[in-house]
Amino acid sequence: MAQIQVNDLTFSYDVSADDVLKDVNFSIDSDWKLGLIGRNGKGKTTLLNLFMGKYDYRGSIRTSVRFDYFPYKVSDADLKQDASELFEKWKPGIELWQALIQMNELKMDPECLYRPFGTLSFGERSRVMLAVLFAAENEFLLIDEPTNHLDSRARDIVKEYLASKKGFILVSHDRDLLDGVCDHVLVLNRASVEVQAGNFTTWWENKEKKDAFSQSENEKHLKEIGKLKTAAERSSRWAEKSEGTKIGFDPLKEHDRGNGTRAFIGAKTKKMQARVKAYETRIDREIEEKEGLLRDIEKVADLKIEPLRFHKEVLINANNLSLKYEDAENPLFSGLRFQVKRGERIVLSGENGCGKSSILKAVLRKAKYDTNGADENLVISGDLEVASGMTVSYVNQDTSFLSGTLRKYCETKGLNESLFLAVLRQLDFGREQFVKNMEDFSEGQKKKVLIAASLITPAHLYIWDEPMNFIDVFSRMQTEKLILEYEPTMLLVEHDVRFREKVATNVIILPFFTE
């Protein structure tokens, strides 16, 4: 076991004047299974890249262990090579047998190694990379979002595999994965960094208790400050009034007073002024104790949505549905039956490649929603009835098309810019992000752009394709609360178990087509 010590770590990108990380200090053990938690844009991936020595920084990172990073970079040329041919590039010096041991634990067929890497599914690619990552010893591994785009089965395999390992940092927003894998968490709070034993749920329960205590203490201090200010103002008025009577008096009206009373009045005034000073000192102390109480509280704003109510109860009716791509030998599936009724939230589940996103594209085509030709090779057989005249709001799982400024995006999409930016602020977008091009956003921030655009679009039906990929835990819970409160009609593809359990009124599980 070795220590990894981070002292006064500060870093900012050249294109930004703002520090991504500032004066960060923590110490961790190299045999921990560490979950890294934080909002989108808080610097989680940046921290991993600093461990890898990718950027220059101020401060220090001290350790005797080597680091390695997931996912490995894959070029267009790499996609044409067999997976086994990429081993030496990713982790020089490992032997094939070392990776095969890990692949067996990851429940993979070794045959995958002898296929072009580009022909593997997302789940297969991720598991091959993890097998290579864990093939060597005496390394501390940096694992960045390993389950994005993975189906439920692949996620379960990865969760079981990582739970059997140690010596890594895991960046993930999947609460189920963090709970099943981690024994410690490293949290990038709003204004501090903390290390705590336990998993996500343990940390979250402690945080809720801590936040409740901080809120209570804050309210107590505010009340005390208010009382002290009132007392100070009253004593100050008395002191000023008393001081004003020291000089000049009418002997006829104030016959009991003489020049000798002046010293008495002065002493009385001095005593009152000392009391005012004592009040001010206590106020300063109360304010000092109050400062910092709320700095790490996650102020999750309540989002709003304006779903439209359609006049028909059944919005989508599929009967004996079959989908197939023109160049494919077999259909993705056949004989599928399902309905989407007004107010329902139907989640499509199943292994990668079974046709979940294709169903969304088929529905979008029937609803006459412009997908820019994404569904042009899709052949629909059987009955798929989609109510005519519906307004549909769509969140694509792909964010690669986002470019340019947020203002230009609003103009192109016909969005109310002020409302759009307000929703992004509620999703924890910093104002400094508003002047950047979307190409410079993190993947989580890009996904929030799509979700914000969908939320401000009044619609009868919301179709979201893997909306929670790259979205931070707090925004996931924020979105769950929104959906449960406003009950929009939705058709979703989502692999986050906790999210699905919270929002779905029904789950449709799609098997692969077999003959």
Residues 186 and 213 in one domain: no
87 sits in which H/E element: helix 87-90
Q: Sign of torsion, CA 495 499 500 504? A: negative
Q: Are 112 and 83 in contact (CB under 8 A)?
A: yes
Residues 128 and 265 in one domain: no
pLDDT interval class at 328 (50, 70, 90): confident
Residues 357 and 448 in one domain: yes
Domain count, the chain: 3
Of 18-22, 152-156, 405-409, which gets the smallest average pLDDT?
18-22
Give the pLDDT confidence of 202-222 residue by residue, as tens digits.
Answer: 999 998 888 887 777 767 767
Residues 261 and 147 in one domain: no
**CATH code for position 187:** 3.40.50.300
Question: Does residue 233 or residue 76 have the better pLDDT?
Answer: 76
Q: Are 107 and 157 in contact (CB under 8 A)?
A: yes
* pLDDT score, position 515: 36
Give the pLDDT confidence of 72-131 residue by residue, as tens digits.
Answer: 999 999 999 998 999 989 999 899 999 999 999 999 999 989 999 998 888 889 999 999
Residue 351 belongs to some domain of the structure: yes
Residues 51 and 173 in one domain: yes
Among 175, 206, 237, the domain-final residue is 206
Residues 185 and 224 in one domain: no
Give Rg (Cα) of the chain: 31
Dmax (CA) of the chain = 118
**Distance in angstroms (rounded) separating the CA atoms of residues 465 and 456:** 17
Among 248, 274, 290, the domain-final residue is 290
Residues 48 and 155 in one domain: yes
Mean pLDDT of the chain: 86
**Distance in angstroms (rounded) separating the CA atoms of residues 8 and 104:** 42
**Distance in angstroms (rounded) separating the CA atoms of residues 468 and 459:** 20
Residue 109 belongs to some domain of the structure: yes
* pLDDT score, position 104: 94
Which domain, by its residues, includes 236? 207-290
Closest CA to 37 of 165, 196, 210, 271: 196
Residue 337 belongs to some domain of the structure: yes
Among 154, 187, 206, the domain-final residue is 206
Residue 464 belongs to some domain of the structure: yes
Residue 163 belongs to some domain of the structure: yes
pLDDT surpasses 60 at 293: no
Residue 299 belongs to some domain of the structure: no
Residues 55 and 69 in one domain: yes
Residue 305 belongs to some domain of the structure: no
Residues 188 and 47 in one domain: yes
Closest CA to 460 of 394, 391, 396: 391
* pLDDT score, position 433: 86
Place of tokens 């009373």: 261
Residues 56 and 159 in one domain: yes
**Distance in angstroms (rounded) separating the CA atoms of residues 90 and 85:** 10
* pLDDT score, position 121: 81
pLDDT surpasses 60 at 256: no
pLDDT interval class at 330 (50, 70, 90): confident
pLDDT interval class at 191 (50, 70, 90): confident
Closest CA to 161 of 108, 109, 106: 106
Residues 374 and 482 in one domain: yes
Residue 296 belongs to some domain of the structure: no
Residues 217 and 187 in one domain: no
Residues belonging to the chain = 515
* pLDDT score, position 243: 56
pLDDT surpasses 50 at 32: yes
**Distance in angstroms (rounded) separating the CA atoms of residues 289 and 283:** 10
* pLDDT score, position 512: 46
Place of tokens 């005593």: 271
Of 55-64, 139-148, 269-278, which gets the smallest average pLDDT?
269-278
